[in-house]
Amino acid sequence: MLHKGEVISTERLLNHTSDSSADLFPDSLKYHIHSIKKKLLNAQCDKELIRNVRGMGYKIEGDND
């Protein structure tokens, strides 16, 4: 998994997930992250794989974290 354990800033995620013709806002990114987390929970993942690191961004945690 790429960037496992690394905190990725909201700005970096926005830059990598949108093209120049789309206006993506931090609130819409939060909504999408929330949706992904909900789907992972519904898929019966053992723990929360995506964590919010307050004031910094998001972190993907793996089996060893």
Q: 9-43 pLDDT, tens per residue? A: 988 888 887 665 566 677 888 898 999 989 988 88
State how far the Cα of 7 lies from the Cα of 19, in Å rounded to an integer: 22
Q: Taking the domains of the chain in order of start, what are their residue ranges?
A: 7-60
State how far the Cα of 39 lies from the Cα of 24, in Å rounded to an integer: 21
- pLDDT score, position 65: 44
State how far the Cα of 51 lies from the Cα of 23, in Å rounded to an integer: 24
Residue 30 DSSP symbol: H
- pLDDT score, position 19: 65
pLDDT of 49 over the 60 cut: yes
Q: Which residues pair with 8 in a beta bridge?
A: 58
Look up the pTM and report it: 0.71
pLDDT of 60 over the 60 cut: yes
State how far the Cα of 31 lies from the Cα of 33, in Å rounded to an integer: 6
